[in-house]
Amino acid sequence: MKPEELRGATLLPVNIATEYGKITGEVLILPISKTRAGISEAGMSVQQKHITCLQHQFFGLDQYRIHGLSRIQGWVNADFLRRLPGGNEFERDSAQWKVFEKAMRGFVRNKVLKFLRQTASRRELRSIQYLNREIAERLRRSIRRNIEILSKAIIKTKTSSKTSQSSQHATKRENGSGHRRDRKSKTRPRDATRSVIHLKDQVLAFDIAHGGDRGQAYVETDKNGVRTVFVNMDHPMWNVEASMTPTKLRYCIRQILERSIAEDILPANPSTPEEAYSVLDALYNDALA
């Protein structure tokens, strides 16, 4: 890496004593201006006797919903690790590897993750908040237009007069919960960008996050039982489809709707794949109209 690229970077030294020996190294956190869209070039290399055997390791960091993974670079060396005969992999079922991995996961959680959360890219967060607001507005409008193709449970509770009332109510509730999340964001930054749409008893929650290798979109359930659809910024298709903001908007809406229907978060209750596609297309087209 060129010296000018290190300007503004933070170096976290690694010096951990274990029962098998020392783990040494350094983790470099690049400045926010060096943030890239993907994480294919990021991560730490793992060395034994200063010979690199593994690259692009995150030690669990990619399992957190955290912005800025692409800023992580570095290396760690542990002479006590046992390499497989091929030389490019370690014996991961050995006691040595398990001790090493546990120590590194602890270091990453306590030092690297803490630093990233404190210095999360405000620019990236702002762009996600803007995108989520636009997506929420379009999805809410699309769902109102297509309320009759959603489940009968919702149809029964909707009349033409109630539709406008419930949409106003949903807006108020979303705005209210948004303010609550803003207040909480100091202690729980991962919720800072999540958007919620209320459909009577149904809740459609979504966000855009770094999800590592968990596919284009994935669903997580929080402790209150609310399932959130996450569009994964680390998936290669994010770069392909999302280089321009309008395309990014379309891509996110499509992913959120697809996962919501597949996971029964949106109660479309399709009886055939064809029916599922027709529901998806109707909702998608109206969201973009």
Mean pLDDT score, 274-284 = 85
**pLDDT at position 153 over 50:** no
Residue appearing with tokens 């509730």: 173
- Please check whether residue 218 is in contact with residue 232, taking contact to mean a CB–CB distance below 8 angstroms: yes
Query: Could you state, in order of their start, the residue ranges of all structural domains in the chain?
Result: 3-118, 122-288
- Segment among 55-64, 91-100, 148-157, 190-199 with least mean pLDDT: 148-157
Q: What is the model's pLDDT at position 149?
A: 67
Mean pLDDT score, 27-33 = 78
Q: What is the model's pLDDT at position 36?
A: 62
Mean pLDDT score, 152-165 = 41
pLDDT band at 169 (very low <50, low <70, confident <90, very high): very low
More confident residue, 215 or 175: 215
The span from the CA of 255 to the CA of 270, in Å, is 17
The side-by-side arrangement of strands in the sheet containing 21-29 is: 10-18, 21-29, 72-77, 43-48, 51-57
CATH fold for the domain made of 3-118: Ribosomal Protein S5; domain 2 (3.30.230)
Q: What is the model's pLDDT at position 103?
A: 96
Model confidence, pTM: 0.51
Cβ-proximal residues to 153 (8 Å cutoff; 6+ apart), any chain: 201, 267
**pLDDT at position 137 over 60:** yes
More confident residue, 254 or 30: 254
For 50-108, write each residue's pLDDT tens digit: 889 888 898 988 777 666 677 888 999 999 999 988 778 899 999 999 999 999 999 99
Give CB contacts under 8 A, 24+ apart, made by 117-126: 117/66, 117/189, 119/29, 119/32, 119/68, 120/66, 120/67, 120/68, 120/189, 121/32, 121/35, 121/67, 121/68, 122/32, 123/32, 124/32, 124/35, 124/67, 124/68, 125/67, 125/192, 125/193
Is the four-CA dihedral 152, 158, 163, 168 of positive or negative sign? Answer: negative
Mean pLDDT of the chain: 77
